[in-house]
Structure 1
């Protein structure tokens, strides 16, 4: 089991959270996604490590950015 944390920039509402959750959940191996609107926190749990570039691409596909990576 692997867990990684990120900060998502640009989310402003529940729809934003849903969009990020759906995109990141679709990555191979991901078993759980937790998104906090207030902090922008994104926690990804997976069976095996998921690449930062893959998470970044999924977040960008949802229309947002990952900060600081």
Structure 2
């Protein structure tokens, strides 16, 4: 039986392409690279959403966790 890639004229699925790209990126960058892009992303998100957004989602998460503990 032919594999999925062979059936698709040897084209790669989006999932496979993403996995391969992620693996290649991981081989080319170190921990500091990922820390820096994470920091930049966090700063950009903070600028776009503001303090009130984080208070609201923190409260929602805390309430959900409290309910989860109460039902255990």
The two structures share one fold, judged by TM-score above 0.5: no
Q: TM-score, normalised by structure 2?
A: 0.25
Q: Which has the higher helix share?
A: 2
Q: Which has the higher strand share?
A: 1
Bigger relative CO (Cα 8 Å, ≥ 6 apart): 1
Q: Which has the larger radius of gyration?
A: 2
Q: TM-score, normalised by structure 1?
A: 0.25
